[in-house]
Structure 1
Amino acid sequence: MASTLPPSRPELVCPAGTPAALKSAVDAGADCVYVGFRDETNARNFPGLNFNRKELAEGIAYAHDKGAKVLVAINTFPRAGQPELWHQAVADAARLKADAAILADIGLIDHAARHHPELRLHLSVQAAASNPEAIAFYAERFGVKRVVLPRVLTVQEISAINARIAPVETEVFVFGGLCVMAEGRCALSSYVTGQSPNMNGVCSPAGEVRYTETAQGVTSELSGFTINKFAANEPAGYPTLCKGRFIARDKASYLFEEPTSLNTLAILPDLIKAGVTAFKIEGRQRGRAYVAAVVQAFRAGVDAVMAGRPLPEIDLDRITEGGKQTTGAYEKAWR
């Protein structure tokens, strides 16, 4: 028998790559903020980003004082035989009273469940659990409370999953960069730079990036490989290999993925009806102005839907990648 209860208000889970961004997200209306430690235990391990232990303690105190939660992403995969750094990250997240840890590696999840039973566990998108059986395994074996679903499912598929996995919660991405390469577990950046996104936490690390200006425009390189050539009047994007233009059959085009941002504002009512627990905004490497603008937009959108009002007209073109937006796989028009 179908439930007649109204949909629950989803949490707005927002990125914070710095203490300043954390405060901006909380002040703009985030229900939760997700962060990482300043090392390779998180998948956004870039210079100038993330938190040391003191900063995280202060950030958690600030968020809790405002009624918000803090989730710690420990979502890379430990080196074989050297898990100490990851074990310490889990221990510190528990010690500092984080509201949850977001984990991807099954061995680390097992360690956290056995050694820190008081710490709430969320399953990272990098674990790629996309069906009820996989989700049930993590929930029953390790006590995982929430799973971040890969960006390959339709709204109808998400609704079907939610109907079978309760009380396990689901979290879906609603805005930001898309990653078609197995949700950050690809080998493209590793092949070119020798540094792995899912182990070292860096995709296209800044130290390997070069821009060269010519009379024709700007050339972007990653570790000596040309990734893109931009015309003189064309914005020069960051040289991420999957978003490079390559020549095939004598035509230069984006072979893997176009620089386009996910934006689901228009389908928030459908995602809420599908039973999604939390809406996740991507962008821990982005500045506080980006964070504030996107959080405010989605706060207004969620509040409007829950109040039965029409969705507000909100233009986010200026902060989307390539100035383009898509609802991605949620509305698989190609099926």
Structure 2
Amino acid sequence: MSVVEHIQEFRRRLLISLGGILVGTIIAFIWYQTSFWGTPTLGEILRDPYCSLPPEARASFSGSEVDDCRLLATGPFDPFMLRLKVSGLVGLVIASPVWLSQVWGFITPGLMKNERRWTFVFVSIAVLLFVAGAVLAYFVVAFGLDFLLTIGDEASMAALTGDRYFNFLLSLLLIFGVSFELPLIIIMLNLVGILQYEAIKDKRRMIIMLLFVFAAFMTPGQDPFSMLVLAISLTLLVEFAIQFCRINDKRKDRKRPDWLDSDDLSASPLDTAVGGEEAPQPVQAPAPVDGYQLRGSAPMADNGANRASTSFKKGGSAFDDVL
């Protein structure tokens, strides 16, 4: 394909991806307050960690004893913009099969058969790891909110706005999902030969310490429960990646011939074992040499003087081959 054809192909796939995201956003916008086939609405799913808190930890705006579990809005456009923002992010997830397939269809023609296979495997694993991290964060956020909102409930009561709560929730989901891609990056670096097991096997303590520091700084609420869950999860995943590096490097060493590890300036040892290429071979008995004589003369004894002064030939003169 020419450059113009590549641009046209990119534009076509981009429009299809944007169309899929738009449809997903519309579905999420409707799902925000509408239940389909008895399933909870999107708003209920996202508010569930907040609603799981004890009622005395949340501010009530209805004045009744009924637990309405509502978030605070401080502006006239806040509910609409919040619903639109959440619908856009959820629509991106709903339409992920569409835009991922378009991205895959655009890059596949430029890859070899084995490259397509490995790329598909790594993209699939990356999606699964991101989803696993986001799901874990969804169940963790309730414990983090419980710690943050009840730590000073004797003197104050938390009244969360919808914007602050959803920013906190979506940030935690994103951080957990992206952090879970770390072991996949380690495995990819090992497969291409950049990161070896020997380079990281003695640095586990440093790696664990860095993971705990990373979790402490990256969790949006800095509550100890979220930080601990993220750090422990990453430690387990990174340990799995390190063990994969160990097994993969051992497999490579079995396939690597010994002569590749020898010094370039030193000779390789001879293969003198029985059946080897450099093994001693038996010397065959010498064969007799045919005698030579001068033309028209009796046989002469073969000595150094005759060989030095006379040309020998079985038949014909010494220059027959030239003439």
Fold conserved (TM > 0.5)?
A: no
Q: Which protein has greater RCO, CA pairs closer than 8 Å, 6+ apart?
A: 1
Normalized against structure 2, the TM-score is what?
Answer: 0.19
Whichever structure has more helix as a proportion of its residues is: 2
Larger Cα Rg: Structure 1 or Structure 2? Answer: 2
User: What's the TM-score, normalizing by structure 1?
Assistant: 0.19
Q: Which has the higher strand share?
A: 1
